[in-house]
Amino acid sequence: SKWQFLPYIERGLTNYARLDICNVGGFTEAMKVAGWAEAHYIDLMPHNPLGPICVAATSHLATAVPNFSWLEIRHSVGEPDLNFYDDDIFPVQPKLEPGKVILSDEPGLGIEVDEASLTEPYKFWEPQHLHRRDGSHTNR
């Protein structure tokens, strides 16, 4: 929530606010965090791992705040089976070009969902689990 950001912003403990618009409470709460951060000369570098809808929402947030810095985009050619930005499910979505996101002129977020394509069975994907020598989990 926005309240989890406040102590870090007020005490100057961070250089970037890594909010996730899909988890912080949507546009209203994200704009509040952005305002607090701007008042303390802190830029936004949103966390953005949730696919085309999150990319669109975060990109629109980026156009609305003066202290936007970088946008994380989850786009991995190493995981082709994920179909993370599947054009069949999302025929209208933000287009990714090197170094930028091209937003649609469509109303709202500019996303279109083909609901008929969602009738296909869900394919579960399990990421690789990495372990250290002592057996503990790691993400590296």
Question: In this predicted model, what pLDDT tens digit does every residue of 30-46 receive, in sequence order?
Answer: 999 999 999 999 999 99
- Which two three-digit tokens encode residue 62? 């980026």
Domains and CATH numbers, the chain: 2-122 (3.20.20.120)
- Which two three-digit tokens encode residue 90? 């999302």
pLDDT per residue over 60-72, tens digit each?
Answer: 999 999 999 998 8
- Which two three-digit tokens encode residue 111? 């996303």
Q: Please tell me the chain's helix, strand, coil percentages from 3-state DSSP, rounded to the nearest 5.
A: 35, 10, 55
Q: Which amino acid is at 111?
A: I
Eight-class DSSP state of 116: G
Distance CA 28, CA 123 (A): 33
Res 78 pLDDT > 60: no
pLDDT per residue over 97-134, tens digit each?
Answer: 888 888 888 789 999 999 988 887 777 777 788 999 99
